[in-house]
Structure formats: structure tokens, C-alpha cells
Structure 1
């Protein structure tokens, strides 16, 4: 892999992300990730054969279950055995460090998976963390879809905390990333009209910490 690929966010970008998180609880980036890395991540997602993808479920550990009425995508977890996946995890570790320095969030570790939505697949409205439980604190989604058009659908809808109003509609275009407080925002993925790729991720805090921030009211 090319050693010239940028695996760090600039201070300007980190400042912008931190400011957006404080002001409204979420941040949206457009084309702020190295173009070569985006290409490699997309190629990586496209390279997986059917057996590499697993049915996505809901809940964790004992509560884990498959429910196609709630979500119908498939996933592949990132790990450090592949250089491209390692590069993305390195970039997200840099984001963790930058936000911890600026916001004292206590972000501790990060987990992430590729997602594939075939035509007609979706993920109904849900929330990534139950309020008051120090598990997922900050959610991220990076999109890997070239030449996306509005008719392709598969947009992410971000709702207000009450879940009764759409506050953002995020097009899944290559290089777009959304970062948001996990327990604050219900969200859903609209049914895709063509194959759709993304990388979802979550930062957690150490169980002994409670470094959450709240957006300004």
C-alpha cells in the first residue's frame, strides 16, 4: 500500500468535528479522507465473495438475534490482518486521540465493519446505545459508493432525540462520513435501489469512565 496515504486528520478537521459535536451532537464530513484510501477501501469491500459476508443482527451477546424485518444487510468485521483495513483503523485511532484531547470523551476502543445493502435491503429506525449504559458512545459511518444518484436511495435518516423529526438526510456518496453521539440520535437506512457499501463503526469508553458530552440545547 502507498506510504503517502494520509492516515491522520488535520487539526482543522479535528477542530471542526469537535465543534460540531458540541454544538449539535453530530458532524458530517465531505471528502476529508485520503482519496487513495477511499479507493482501496471500496476495492476491499468489492473483493469479498458471498461467504465473507455475514447476516447482520441486532443486539449484543445474549441479546443478539437475526431479524430481517428490522435489518437485512450483511457485514464483514474489520481487523488488522489486512493492510487496507489496518490503515482505516489507524485513521480512526487518530480521530479518537484528537477528540479525547479536545473533548475529554474518554474514548477507549473502536470496532468497525463493512456493510453491504443489496437492492431492497434496509435498516429500520434504531439507536446504537441504550441511554445510561457506557457501551457505544460515538458512532461513525463512512460511505463507499461511486457515482451515487438520488434514485439509488439508501440514504441515512438522522432523527431528533425524540425520534419524531428527521434532522438530516445523508446521501451515501463516496467519501461522506457522519459521526454522531450513539445514544442521542435514532437513525435508519432507507431501502437501497442498488448495491450500497459503507463502513460503520463505534467508539466505546472504558467501563470505569463516563466521558460523555452533550450537544448544546
Structure 2
């Protein structure tokens, strides 16, 4: 993958059309097997550094039970994904005048029994998150393993997005969504395209 440009497999016009009509879009087979393998390896070798996402500033939330690791400059492989999202942001800004400046992202691990209850990433415009993305980087997934993304689109229709390997879900950050309980370890990168500086 060319780190400075969008992967050729990303259907930009279709992504823009789906976002305009429904508020979300899906990219399947997003990256090459070589890149995805390197990304899975980088994530897996840092699993012992993940922290409980439900604990924020010492306060425990009961709406989520996953574990996360924020992606910094030391995670070189994951940085390439962030660069691709930044390139996509240029197209989103041109099409929708969103004013996105940069992406923030973390690895996420949902072990069996873990979930993220209904929420919005940017409720009532309270932060700079404009577009949310989830990239599924586990190497295999079965439909009965749970962990689906349940999303209400901009027309108030509900959708179930299965966490297929090498799939990216892209959606407006103000849309209501949840991660259903996983029955098997589920790995992903969650990223937000922001109009302001990341908060972490």
C-alpha cells in the first residue's frame, strides 16, 4: 500500500454516495494480505498493553467492556491505516465540507462476553468527531461469533454489519450504534476523523 494515497481497492465515489444517502458505507477487501498480516501481527504483539476502555479518568462506565490501545507514532504499521484515512478525509472534505483536519485511532479488543452498548460518538455535536470508522483486522470470523456493529442510518433504518476480516465500516459520528456481545475475540481499529485536535 502506498502510505500517501488511498488504496486502489477503495471505491471513493461509492463511499461518498452511500454516506450521502445513508450516512454509512462499507469497504470490503480494504488492504493487501501482506499489509493485513503485518497489522494483525503488530496488534497481537501489543495485546498485553491494552487497557480497560470502561475506565476513563478513574471513572468506570457500564456501557462498554472492551480493551483498547491508542495508536501513536511507535505503531508504524497502524500508522499507514491512519494515513489512508487522512487521504480519504480529503475527499470527504471536498464532497461534504466537513473540515476534517486529522484522524485519531486505537486498537480495540473485544474478548468473549464483551460489548459496547448503544451510543453516539459525537452526541449533539459535542466534540470534533465527524466520521467514525471501524477496521476489522482479525484473520477469520464466523457469523455465530457475535461482535456485530448494529447501526441506525440517517434515515432511521437499522443495519447489522458483520465484522468480516479486512472490512472497514465508515459512518457519521452522530449516528446511534452499538457493538453486540462478542462470543470470540474480535480485533479492530476504531478511528475518528476530526475537525479538532484529538483529546487523548
1:151 matched residue in structure 2: 144
Q: 1:53 to 1:134 in 2, by over 3 A?
A: closer
Does the aligned pair in 2 maintain the 1:38–1:174 contact within 8 Å? no
Please state how far the C-alpha of 1:23 moved relative to its aligned partner.
1.2
Give 4+ residue runs of structure 1 displaced > 3 Å after superposition. none
1:44 matched residue in structure 2: 42
Does the aligned pair in 2 maintain the 1:21–1:180 contact within 8 Å? yes
Does the aligned pair in 2 maintain the 1:161–1:186 contact within 8 Å? no
Moved more, 170-179 or 78-87: 78-87
The counterpart of 1:57, out of the listed 49, 54, 57, is 54
Provide the secondary structure at the position in 1 that maps to 2:59: coil
Task: Provide the C-alpha distance between the structure 1 equivalents of 2:75 and 2:109, rounded to a whole number of angstroms.
Answer: 19
The counterpart of 2:13, out of the listed 12, 15, 29, is 15
Task: Provide the C-alpha distance between the structure 1 equivalents of 2:70 and 2:127, rounded to a whole number of angstroms.
Answer: 22
1:98 matched residue in structure 2: 91
Alignment of 1:1-217 (within 5 A): 5-7=1-3, 8-9=5-6, 10=8, 13-50=11-48, 52-57=49-54, 65-67=59-61, 69-160=62-153, 167-183=158-174, 185-206=175-196
Give structure 2 stretches of 5+ with no counterpart: none
- TM-score with structure 2 length normalisation? 0.87
Task: Provide the C-alpha distance between the structure 1 equivalents of 2:118 and 2:182, rounded to a whole number of angstroms.
Answer: 15
Output one character per residue of 1:110-136: Cα deviation in whole Å (capped at 9) or x when no partner. 110000011111111111012133521
Please state how far the C-alpha of 1:188 moved relative to its aligned partner.
0.8
The size of the alignment, in residue pairs, is 195
Does the aligned pair in 1 maintain the 2:153–2:159 contact within 8 Å? no
Output one character per residue of 1:137-169: Cα deviation in whole Å (capped at 9) or x when no partner. 11000001222111111111112469xx76211
Provide the secondary structure at the position in 2 that maps to 1:191: coil
Does the aligned pair in 1 maintain the 2:128–2:195 contact within 8 Å? yes
Does the aligned pair in 1 maintain the 2:132–2:193 contact within 8 Å? yes
Provide the secondary structure at the position in 2 that maps to 1:92: helix
Give structure 1 stretches of 5+ with no counterpart: 208-217
Q: 1:105 to 1:45 in 2, by over 3 A?
A: same
Task: Provide the C-alpha distance between the structure 1 equivalents of 2:36 and 2:165, rounded to a whole number of angstroms.
Answer: 7
| Cα RMSD (Å) | 2.3
